[in-house]
């Protein structure tokens, strides 16, 4: 027999055996059978809406520069105290760096480590132009509370506080000490809020069994090949953040006699080269965990590829990255070019031109890796410097703990027909600061947002559905009960 045919048959045999292996592997991955008893609780969602409406009316806009008015944060503290009298009657209140807030509600069992619920008080700015209502009116209409912060994230703060307030109204005191930590500049990296809160906790030897913050999302399962079910994602980590300044320097001059290449040309080429030369896509540990968890519920085609992602990653990574920008962001460090500067006059060729690159650093990479890549791509003629307020990706919280299992169970008890999975949070939150005081930092936002409402976050006509707010209160009531009450010895 011809040698070429022998080689061909061998290759076909290997490919066939591998294909059979992958098919068999897919077949044996099936959903785990488990019965979760539904938790039902009557909640006055209109009360929650009224409290959220009042919270939105206090304009706690992030202070981006020295001299910005921050007195609304003090007004907000007063508002919270009036809205949640039972919590504040029991709480030890500590003000951190003038405007951040810690509430400590002491539990009955000192042997249990405390638990912590995070939220940020600050909201991004909102001009009135383009809004259907005044962005700080907290107007209630058509089943929604409108206004800046109604989604990000005063709704979650109100839901978490009201969840405990309801338990206290029933005369139930927590076994575990409960902390609420509310920073005042999360939208500006938390360097004046969460950072100082954690400093205080470290100085007082306070550690947490768990930290729960915003960040996970709830999506339609069809987006990931799961039919007739929805998906709840718990962020077990978050990407890093850095801004890099690219600077080109060349002789300037009058625009009437341009030279062959100017500093603006150099910067334009650098931006183009970086856009065409991104960092590699990878399946990080939390991304693999997400695919493994979701795979049993996917349709056969999605399931085949997800179960065998370790063998088919070379194919999956570019395909998934091309299909969806969010999936692309979960697999790589992303470059967003946000600011360009050249001359101050239209007829002057500048000596210096610059560009700012906003980078969200993938899990498993560092700022040093990003800097090395950028310098290699743009070459020696471009100066690359790291700007302020940067940080590497966070550690990855464990998913084989009782805390994580309790969080999953609490979601399943309140939200029917959901598949719960871990995932890497692609944005930034105050959570990143808390790994020094807890090994269990988790991000989850208990609101189901459609595409229309997702684009309202930080945008025009931000709003929170009152039905969804009521369900979030039920969730927090149950979560706090599961984590902080009874004989739960997490």
CB atoms within 10 A of CB 305: 22
The two three-digit tokens of residue 331, written as one number: 């697999």
Cα-Cα end-to-end distance for the chain: 67
Residues 288, 292, 293, 299: is their CA dihedral positive or negative? positive
The whole-angstrom distance between residue 328's C-alpha and the CA centroid of its chain comes to 15
Q: Is 452 exposed, middle or buried (0-12, 13-18, 19+ CB in 10 A)?
A: exposed
Cβ proximity of 329 and 360 under 8 Å: yes
Query: What is the rounded distance in angstroms from the CA atom of residue 261 to the CA atom of residue 248?
Result: 11
Choosing from 122, 192, 214, 462, which is the catalytic residue? 122
Choosing from 139, 152, 185, 186, which is the catalytic residue? 186
186 is catalytic: yes
Say which DSSP state 448 is in. B
Nearest to 430, CA basis, from 210, 143, 192, 227: 192
Q: DSSP per residue over 332-400, as a string?
A: S-EEEEEEEE--SSTTEE-SEEEEEEEEEEPTT--HHHHHHHHHHHH-TTEEEEE-SS-BPPPP---SS
Strand partners, 231: 219, 419
Sequence-distant (6+) residues with CB within 8 A of 399 are 236, 289, 422
Query: What is the rounded distance in angstroms from the CA atom of residue 176 to the CA atom of residue 384?
Result: 49
| Region for 143 from its dihedrals, namely left if φ exceeds 0, alpha if ψ lies in -120 to 50, beta otherwise | left
Q: Where are the alpha helices (DSSP H) in 58-105?
A: 71-83, 85-90
Say which DSSP state 293 is in. H
The two three-digit tokens of residue 249, written as one number: 């320097």
Report residue 13: phi and psi, to 5°: -65, -45
Sequence-distant (6+) residues with CB within 8 A of 55 are 76, 79, 80, 83, 138, 149, 154, 157, 158
As annotated, the active-site residues are 122, 186
């Amino acid at each position: 027999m011809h040698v070429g045919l022998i080689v061909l048959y061998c290759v076909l045999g290997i490919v066939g055996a591998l294909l059979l292996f992958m098919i068999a592997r897919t077949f044996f991955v099936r959903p785990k059978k488990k019965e979760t008893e539904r938790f039902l609780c009557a909640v006055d969602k209109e009360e929650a809406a009224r409290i959220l409406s009042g919270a939105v009316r206090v304009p706690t806009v992030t202070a981006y520069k020295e001299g910005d008015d921050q007195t609304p944060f003090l007004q907000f503290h007063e508002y919270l105290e009036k809205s949640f009298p039972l919590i504040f009657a029991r709480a030890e209140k500590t003000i951190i760096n003038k405007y951040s807030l810690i509430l400590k509600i002491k539990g009955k069992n000192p042997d249990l480590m405390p638990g912590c619920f995070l939220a940020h008080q600050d909201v991004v700015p909102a001009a009135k132009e383009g809004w259907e209502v005044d962005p700080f009116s907290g107007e209630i209409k058509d089943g929604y509370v409108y206004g800046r912060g109604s989604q990000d994230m005063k709704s979650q703060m109100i839901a978490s506080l009201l969840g405990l307030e309801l338990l206290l109204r029933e005369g139930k005191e927590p076994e575990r000490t409960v902390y609420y930590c509310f920073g005042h500049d999360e939208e500006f990296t938390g360097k004046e809020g969460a950072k100082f809160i954690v400093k205080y906790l470290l100085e007082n030897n306070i550690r947490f069994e768990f930290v729960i913050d915003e960040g996970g999302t709830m999506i339609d399962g069809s987006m990931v090949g799961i039919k007739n079910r929805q998906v709840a994602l718990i962020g077990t980590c978050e990407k890093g953040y850095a801004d890099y300044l690219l600077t080109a320097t060349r002789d300037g001059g009058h625009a009437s006699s341009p030279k062959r290449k100017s500093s603006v040309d150099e910067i334009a080429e650098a931006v183009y080269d970086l856009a065409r030369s991104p960092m590699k896509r990878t399946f990080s540990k939390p991304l693999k965990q997400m695919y493994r968890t979701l795979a049993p519920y996917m349709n056969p085609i999605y399931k085949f590829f997800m179960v065998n992602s370790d063998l088919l990653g070379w194919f999956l990574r570019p395909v998934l990255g091309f299909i969806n920008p969010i999936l692309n962001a979960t697999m790589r460090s992303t470059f967003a070019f946000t600011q360009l500067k050249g001359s101050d006059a239209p007829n002057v060729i500048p000596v210096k031109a610059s560009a700012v690159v906003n980078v969200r650093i993938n899990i498993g990479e560092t700022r040093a890796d990003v800097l090395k890549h950028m310098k290699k791509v743009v070459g020696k003629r471009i100066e690359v410097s790291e700007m302020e307020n940067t940080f590497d990706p966070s550690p990855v919280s464990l998913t084989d703990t009782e805390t994580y299992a309790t969080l999953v169970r609490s979601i399943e008890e309140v939200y029917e027909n959901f598949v719960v999975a871990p995932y890497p949070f692609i944005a930034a939150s105050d959570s990143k600061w808390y790994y020094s005081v807890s090994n269990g930092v988790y991000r989850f936002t208990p609101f189901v947002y459609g595409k229309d409402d997702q684009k309202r976050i930080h945008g025009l006509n931000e709003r929170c559905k009152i039905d969804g707010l009521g369900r979030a209160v039920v969730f927090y009531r149950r979560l706090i009960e599961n984590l902080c009450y009874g004989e739960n010895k997490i």
